[in-house]
Amino acid sequence: MLRDEFGREFHYLRLSITDVCNFRCNYCLPEGYQGRPDAAFLSLDEIRRIATAFAATGTRKIRITGGEPSVRADLPDIICTLKEIQGIDKVVITTNGYRLPERIDAWHQAGIDAINLSIDSLDPAVFNAITGHDRLRELLEGLDRAIDLGIKTVKVNAVILRGLNDRQLDQFLQWIKAMPVTLRFIELMQTGDNEAFFKKHHFRGENIKQRLLAEGWREVQRDIDAGPAREFSHPEFRGRVGLIMPYSKDFCATCNRLRISSTGQLHLCLFSEHGISLRHLLQSDDQLPELLTFLRQQLGTKKISHFLQQGNSGGTQHLAMIGG
Ligand code: SAM
Ligand code: SF4
């Protein structure tokens, strides 16, 4: 088991497979992806070795993320490879849903257990203004298909932005009356690149929580490998609401996840100063014992909390470089 000095155990790995993205979300990559499209991202063998090592230390769930993970043509192979690793119970993905209706069947066949789809607005014009793409209808079709295929967990992520989509809470809540998805409102996080945007558009998740409680929503229990969201249910709604509030007190106390960037850097926190390269330990299957020892040593250096409240987002320029 991977455990840090503060007694936190790590069952959940967020694995980025590319930094490339085809969207231009105004809070993340407002100018679009600016790096090299041919950068040396993790190979399928390297991904398999990472997952094997983490499974051996108690990781049960792996989230594939990016950039936009679906820009990799070998994504179905990556899903299959992760599913075959003993000890990994859940392979899940976070995606912007680009061409989802064409792609979701292949992910399902490969064995994907759950999908988190980013939909920042249900109004096509606002969706376009935030992401730079007129693709809301396509995402919603893909979402319906995921539900029809019987993918066990389907969640929707929406970053709440003051002045852009914060007035659309009613529309979002109305939508999940009949829609059996968990709708997760994510509080905007400050990163190295978005300071001015953050100051203008940050909206406190606590405001949403107070509204939900006043309207009869009740908080539900978390699973051991659950992400950071606090979840709420209501008897009159088929869907649930999740709140991700990184600025709330004690957000880091329940941290159960580690991150690997698309170039094989271990990040002990979303907002750490830098990653720790694992690549030299990913070149052959024989290196597994060395990799395990290295991971355990590095865990000893994980800090108790991020320093976001002080406006310090570490070395994270934007979340596309580490997968959110
Ligand atoms: N491209 C995929 C997507 O958008 O779903 C996966 C990567 S993206 C970095 C993962 C999640 O992080 C998305 O739900 C996105 O909305 C969220 N995100 C990105 N930048 C953020 C920020 N500054 N604050 C809060 N959430 C952010
Ligand atoms: Fe791309 Fe996801 Fe960032 Fe949007 S949030 S720019 S889809 S990586």
Residue type, 254: T
Mean pLDDT of 173-202: 95
Is residue 248 pLDDT above 80, yes or no? yes
| Mean pLDDT, range 292-321, rounded to an integer | 85
**Considering only CA atoms, which of 21, 23, 90, 22 is closest in space to residue 51?**
90
Q: What is the pLDDT of residue 196?
A: 96
Following CA atoms 311, 316, 317, 320 in sequence, which dihedral angle do they give, to the nearest 10 degrees? -130
> What pLDDT score was predicted for residue 42?
97
Residue carrying the six token digits 């939900």: 212
Q: Domains in the chain and their CATH numbers?
A: 12-321 (3.20.20.70)
Residue pLDDT, tens place only, 85-127? 999 999 999 999 999 999 999 999 999 999 999 999 999 999 9
Which of the residue ranges 260-264, 267-271, 294-298 would you say has the lowest mean pLDDT?
267-271
Which residue has the CA at smallest separation from atom 2 of ligand 1? 95
117 C-alpha to center of ligand 1: Å? Answer: 10
> Does residue 23's CB lie within 6 angstroms of at least one atom of ligand 2?
yes
> Are the beta carbons of 314 and 275 closer than 8 angstroms?
no
Taking CA atoms, 254 is separated from 7, 43, 114, 208, 226, in Å, by 10, 31, 22, 21, 10
Q: How far is CA 293 from CA 1, 216, 261, in A?
A: 12, 48, 20
Percent of all residues in the chain with a pLDDT value above 70, rounded to a whole number: 99
pTM: 0.95
> Cα(62) to centroid of ligand 2, in Å?
19
Q: What confidence category does residue 38 fall into, taking pLDDT thresholds of 50, 70 and 90?
A: confident
- Rounded to an integer, the average pLDDT of 147-161 is 95
Residue 197 carries which side chain, given as an amino acid letter? F
Closest C-alpha residue for ligand 1 atom 5: 95
In this predicted structure, what is the pLDDT of residue 311? 77
For residue 260, list its beta bridge partners.
Answer: 15, 266
Q: Are 25 and 132 in contact (CB under 8 A)?
A: yes
Quick check: 309 pLDDT over 80?
Answer: no
Separation of 289 CA from ligand 1 center, angstroms?
Answer: 34
CA pair distance 177, 181, nearest whole angstrom: 10
Structure tokens at 179: 């829609």
